[in-house]
Structure 1
Amino acid sequence: MPELCVGERRWTVPTGSNLLDALNAAGLNVPYSCRAGSCHACLVHCLDGQPADALPEALALDKHAQGWRLACQCRVVDDLRVAVFDPLLEGMPATVCALDWFGDVLRLRLRPERALRYHAGQHLVLWNGAVARPYSLASLPGEDDFLEFHVDCRRPGAFCDSARGLRIGDELRLGELRGGALHYDPDWQERPLWMLAAGTGLAPLWGILREAVRQGHRGEIRVLHVARDSAGHYLAGAMQGMAGVTVDLVLAEQMEEALAGFRMVSRQTVALVCGAPASVERFARRLFVAGVPRGQVYADAFVEHV
């Protein structure tokens, strides 16, 4: 059986063991959320030996070449020495500078120790103690001196539960920054731009919307936000105050009716959609019916966290 080593600890595991399970069975308490290679909370550094990696493309090429792996996607097939990601050593400190509640949605603003290079639509792993979860950035680089995240606290969850206790001045740690499927392309400036979001799927689109306006987008901009209740339309005022932006605020039970009203006026239309998988699927299906080419629909489905 292969030997697994972390620091001074060494133990054997059955060949083919899932690396995340093997580490946690030994009491290492490696965080995880999705077990699908999406959240990146279970990042580990392979120092000697290589596991069988089922999803190498989940990490950037340079990070993968440096030996970083997602433990949930790896199996131990030979002797392996790894280091668990330590947010105190490798994460960037960030201080809570604002906390605003909109119903069950927490708008969390952090001021990082140093400027972070990112673009609207990217994700960042947040560490609150030993709890790590990825969240989309809702802030806009170059304009905001903070990082903004929208945390849906309607359901219990490790990060949500810990976030409820946050106070101004508390310190979190920033983990891996990675690109999502959503972005703004300057080549789209003359094209109609549709943004469809459910719940806190609005977070990345809020940054992208502001980026489009900042870059002088000249085509139609239409935003549709689906929420469970009126309190869930937490950015309604800010969006409705933007010149040249049409905003549709829709309750969940009205979603199909509202989507049926979408009529494409140009084959050049670009659509950005974000939310829970079921909502993203409904958005994509309606956009296809409306005639938006599949290659012009960019989707980011949030993974349910544990």
Structure 2
Amino acid sequence: MPEITVGQRRWAVAAGANLLDALNAQGLNVPYSCRAGSCHACLVHCLRGEPRDNQPAALDAGKHAEGWRLACQCQVVEDLSVAVFDPATDGLPARVEACDWLSPEVLRLRLQPSKPLRYQAGQHLVLWTESGVARPYSLASLPQEDRFLEFHIDCRHPGAFVDVAKDFRLGDHVRLGELRAGALRYDPDWQDCPLWLLAAGTGLAPLYGILREALRQRHAGEIRLVHLARDARQHYLASELSTLAANHPSVRIERVLPEDFSQALAGLRPSSRRVHALVCGSPASVEAYSKRLFLGGVPRNQVLADVFTGREGGGYQS
């Protein structure tokens, strides 16, 4: 049986065991969400030995060559020495600056890191509670405009992180894990192209940051933001989005409910193949948006999507 070594700990596992499960069975608290190689929350560093990687292309070639692996996608087939993230020593301390409800189900969390954090709109961070619970969440803030880090947490269902987050108070502390880039971003080369931002639920969080980044960079093409919500009360950030649309004639905001979703999808008819679309939300909503864009003639390489699994607060998140 192969053995895994983490620091001073060493134990045997069955050949072919999932690396993420093997680590967490020993209480190492490696965070995860999607288990599909998308969120990158379960990143670990293989110092010696080589696991069987079922999705090597999920990481960039340089990071993969350095020994970094997504634990959820790896099987233990030989002895491994692995380094995992230790929030006590590797995490960046941050203080809760604000915690309020954007809707009956969406909690807005604003954090002040102990030192400035360089990031871009659309990226995400793993947040660690003081009790050792970790989950990845997308950033809704914009570094050039906000002095805090903002996250939108879907609290519809109970969960280890959600239950702690709902009781956060001003001055409480969390630790920030590694900053990671998902699929979503704003590219200045899109400046003159139509930009469609298609969200469901708290998939709005990273797209809100990207919308503001596009406006900051004086995006010249039309910007269309569509937000699908479970009911009218869940169309959060309504005032902020309406203000942006009022101040920027090129911005169009559409709020959609489930009973109108089919009609809204039918209305996604691009007048140009130059449309760039960013999609974020649940697997079903992302699939529906993406299928409609494909049928509408938007090239696949012009559709960027991040999927929120719905486990723990709306995302891999998200």
TM range (shorter): over 0.9
Q: Offset of 1:133 from its aligned partner?
A: 1.3
* Range 290-299 or range 208-217, more displaced: 290-299
Q: Distance between the aligned counterparts of 2:7 and 2:304, measured in 1?
A: 42
Kindly indicate whether the alpha-carbon contact (under 8 Å) linking 1:192 and 1:269 is maintained by their aligned counterparts in 2.
yes
Aligned to 2:269: 263
Q: Distance between the aligned counterparts of 1:106 and 1:149, measured in 2?
A: 8
TM-score w.r.t. the length of structure 1 is 0.92
* Aligned partner of residue 212 in structure 1, secondary structure: helix
Q: Offset of 1:29 from its aligned partner?
A: 4.0
Q: Distance between the aligned counterparts of 2:178 and 2:57, measured in 1?
A: 15
Aligned to 2:67: 67
Stretches of structure 1 that go unaligned for 5 or more consecutive residues are none
Pick closer, same or farther for the CA change 1:228–1:269 going to 2, 3 Å.
Answer: same
1:121 aligns with 2:127: no
Q: Offset of 1:214 from its aligned partner?
A: 0.9
Q: Distance between the aligned counterparts of 2:281 and 2:310, measured in 1?
A: 10
Q: Distance between the aligned counterparts of 1:7 and 1:93, measured in 2?
A: 23
Q: Offset of 1:140 from its aligned partner?
A: 0.7
Pick closer, same or farther for the CA change 1:295–1:35 going to 2, 3 Å.
Answer: closer
Stretches of structure 2 that go unaligned for 5 or more consecutive residues are 313-318
Aligned to 1:142: 144
* Aligned partner of residue 182 in structure 2, secondary structure: coil
Kindly indicate whether the alpha-carbon contact (under 8 Å) linking 2:280 and 2:308 is maintained by their aligned counterparts in 1.
yes
Percent identity (aligned): 66
Amino acid paired to 2:26: A
Q: Offset of 1:61 from its aligned partner?
A: 4.3
Aligned to 2:191: 189
Aligned to 1:88: 88
Per-residue CA distance 1:140-171 (angstroms, 9 max, x = gap): 11111111111111122222122111111111
Pick closer, same or farther for the CA change 1:210–1:58 going to 2, 3 Å.
Answer: same
Aligned to 1:32: 32
Q: 1:272 aligns with which of 278, 288, 305?
A: 278
* Aligned partner of residue 284 in structure 1, secondary structure: helix
1:159 aligns with 2:161: yes
Q: Distance between the aligned counterparts of 2:42 and 2:300, measured in 1?
A: 32
Q: Distance between the aligned counterparts of 1:293 and 1:11, measured in 2?
A: 48
Q: Aligned ranges for residues 5-16 of structure 1 at < 5 Å?
A: 5-16=5-16
Aligned to 1:111: 112
Kindly indicate whether the alpha-carbon contact (under 8 Å) linking 2:2 and 2:15 is maintained by their aligned counterparts in 1.
yes
Q: Distance between the aligned counterparts of 1:195 and 1:10, measured in 2?
A: 47
Aligned to 1:44: 44
Higher relative contact order (CA closer than 8 Å, sequence separation 6+): 2
CA RMSD of aligned residues (A): 1.9
Q: 1:247 aligns with which of 246, 253, 266?
A: 253
* Aligned partner of residue 304 in structure 2, secondary structure: strand
1:3 aligns with 2:3: yes
Aligned to 1:205: 207
Kindly indicate whether the alpha-carbon contact (under 8 Å) linking 1:38 and 1:303 is maintained by their aligned counterparts in 2.
no
Pick closer, same or farther for the CA change 1:66–1:294 going to 2, 3 Å.
Answer: closer
Kindly indicate whether the alpha-carbon contact (under 8 Å) linking 2:55 and 2:73 is maintained by their aligned counterparts in 1.
yes
